[in-house]
Amino acid sequence: MASSTLSDRDLRRVVAASLIGATIEWYDFFLYGTVAGIVFNKLYFPAKDPLISILLAYTTFAVGFLARPLGGVIFGHFGDRIGRKSMLVLTLMVMGVATVLIGLLPTYQRIGVAAPILLLVLRVLQGIGFGGEWGGAVSMTYEYASRLGSSMRCATAPKLRYSAICSMPACAIPASRSCVSSPESSRRALLR
């Protein structure tokens, strides 16, 4: 948790670290999404029907998203016990190592059915790393912002809303209205 006296420099470092981590993680996910339908369907899922190959490639993309909550639970637990900063570094390493290993993964032609299985395992690791980083960055940013008053908590509300409810527009109005009232009602609106 942040100390009670927070300097502008400390706050900038927390925000920059959260921003850089989220940018790297999203870049990895978007890059995989682009490459899945163009390259991976041919390299890892050769089939007579190209539609089946594309569907299998995008299924590995979806598995990364499905593993995100697991990463949030795992790294959230250890982030509370050990510390968020060390867990954020670990999540970036998990995501980075999995990405490099995907780049080095032999194709279906070389190792057969092991290639798509290994690709799937690496995508699960990427999803776990992504979920842990996103949840940890949101928590750490919100904890530091809470030391600065309700206006800073409201500034972090869009990121919290996005991570909690996938940026559903119906929830934007209640959370933004609560920022004008009180910090407690803001917290309640964000947790709905």
User: For residues 78 and 90, what is the distance between their CA atoms, to the nearest angstrom?
Assistant: 11
Could you state, in order of their start, the residue ranges of all structural domains in the chain? 8-148, 150-192
Task: Please state, in angstroms and rounded to a whole number, the distance separating the CA atoms of residues 41 and 35.
Answer: 9
Structural fold of domain 8-148: Growth Hormone; Chain: A; (1.20.1250)
The answer to whether 129 touches 98, Cβ cutoff 8 Å, is: yes
pLDDT, one tens digit for every residue, the chain (192 residues): 444 566 777 777 777 777 777 787 778 778 888 888 888 888 998 888 889 989 999 999 999 989 999 999 999 899 889 888 888 889 889 988 998 999 999 999 999 999 999 999 999 999 999 899 888 887 777 777 666 555 555 555 445 444 444 433 333 333 333 344 444 544 444 444
146 contacts: CB under 8 Å, gap ≥ 6:
152, 153, 183
CA 18 to chain centre: 11
Whole-model pTM: value is 0.70
Neighbours of 103 (CB within 10 A): 9
